[in-house]
Chains A and B, each alone.
Chain A
Amino acid sequence: MAATVKYDEVEIGQEIPAADYPVRRINLVMYAGASGDFNPIHWNERFAKTVGLPDVIAHGMFTMAQGGRFVTDWAGDPGAVVDYGVRFSSMVVVPDDDHGTVITVSGVIEEKLEDKRVVVALTAKCDGSRVLSKARAVVQLA
Chain B
Amino acid sequence: MALNRDFVGRASAPSAPYEVSRVKIREFATAIGDSNPIYHDRGAAQAAGHPDVVAPPTFPIVFSLSGGAILADPELGLNFAMVVHGEQRFEYRRPIHAGDELVSVSTVTDIRSVGRNEFITVRSDVTTVEGELVCTTYNTIVERGGAG
Show the binding face of A for B, using Cβ within 8 Å: 1-2, 21, 27, 30-31, 33-37, 51, 59-62, 64-66, 68-69, 71-73, 77-79, 81-88, 134, 137
Contact = CB atoms under 8 A, between A and B. Distances in A.
Contact of A34 (B27, B36, B90): B27
- Please classify the interface of chain B as helix (H, G, I), strand (E, B), loop, or mixed, using the class held by over half of its residues: mixed
A49 B30 CA distance: 29
Nearest to A62: B32
Contact of A73 (B30, B36, B48, B87): B36
Task: Select the residue from B50, B58, B88 with max chain A CB neighbours within 10 A.
Answer: B58
Given A27-B31, A60-B88, A78-B38, 4 more contacts: A65-B34, A65-B56, A83-B89, A88-B86
B91 interface: yes
A-B pairs with the 5 shortest C-beta distances? A85-B89, A34-B31, A79-B95, A65-B32, A60-B85
A34 to B, nearest CB: 4
Contact of A72 (B31, B33, B49, B56): B56
18 contacts: A1-B50, A34-B31, A51-B81, A61-B88, A65-B32, A68-B58, A69-B33, A77-B49, A78-B36, A78-B55, A79-B38, A79-B49, A79-B50, A82-B91, A83-B89, A85-B90, A88-B85, A88-B87
Interface of B: 24, 27-28, 30-34, 36, 38-39, 48-50, 54-58, 61-62, 81, 84-92, 94-95, 138
Contacts of B87: 85-88, 134
Contacts of B61: 35, 37, 61
